[in-house]
Amino acid sequence: MSGAAGSYHTNPFPTRADDERVLAILDVISHEGAKAARARFGLTNSATQGMRTRFLNPKYQPEDKCRRKANRDGGMPRRWWAS
């Protein structure tokens, strides 16, 4: 397990598989809760909390530079990356 959350040795150049794993974990955290993510992916409580802070906290989100207001509705379907 190189690069993605849950690894002690992180890869500075994550692969697509690493990105997809992180997206899957964040999806489970958002829709089913951290407990489900810990059970499904074998993560610690600290790992899930760290991911929640780094990726889901609005304070750390980049500025929305979308020009069209209609595209700022958060309208991506669940598991959009897997389709």
Token look-up 């760290």 returns 50
The Cα 34–Cα 74 span in angstroms is 21
Estimate the share of the chain in helix, then strand, then coil, as percent rounded to the nearest 5.
Answer: 55, 0, 45
Tell me the percentage of the chain whose pLDDT exceeds 90: 29
Q: Where are the domains of the chain?
A: 1-56
- Give Cα separations from 25 to 41, 71, 82 (angstroms): 7, 25, 13
- Percentage of the chain modeled with pLDDT above 70: 83
In 3D space, the residue among 9, 56, 2 whose CA is nearest the CA of residue 28 turns out to be 56
Over residues 8-21, the pLDDT tens digits come to 456 678 888 888 99
